[in-house]
Amino acid sequence: MNYYNVAKIVNTRGLRGELKVIAYTDFPEERFQAGTELQLFKDANATTPTQAVTVQSAKPFKGMWLIQLAGLDSINEVEKFKGMMLKIAEDQLQELADGEFYQHEIIGLTVIEDGQTLGKVKEILSYGPNDVWVVERPGKKDLLLPYLNDVVLRVDLDKSIVEVAVPEGLD
């Protein structure tokens, strides 16, 4: 089964077992809803979960989220989770609207401009008002493409390509 990153546990808060997490999802309210089952992984690249956990409660907190896991109500029980990843199973993914994509669907796609291959999407950065797609180009430095309608013209998952118009000066 495939698993997808939802959040990274960066620290604990207080003595009652709350965890500070950085959300890697566009749907934190859904992913961190009480009763949701998540899988704990040693790190982002791990493929086998260490254990299943259930969200008891969650709330936004200073650009992050505070999560309380069911049955874990002491800092001593959750301290070992620092640095670990929370992931969901593939069957927990929800259907997206037309024109919306999961990051794992975009990473690895071939980027094309005017019929010329530029490279492949190697990662997606989500730090500002829009995502930035990092395009790995052979023999050149990575190209940082903002995910904007006039830059990313078309995504074709069936053909594994992204058609773009690189703004002048960005290359």
pLDDT band, very low/low/confident/very high, at 30 (cuts 50, 70, 90): confident
Closest C-alpha to 146, from 138, 157, 135: 135
Query: Model confidence over 45-63: pLDDT tens digits?
Result: 888 999 999 999 999 999 8
Give ∠ CA 93-57-102 in degrees, rounded to 5.
20
Query: Model confidence over 7-18: pLDDT tens digits?
Result: 999 999 999 999
Closest C-alpha to 11, from 82, 85, 86, 87: 82
pTM beyond 0.85, yes or no: no
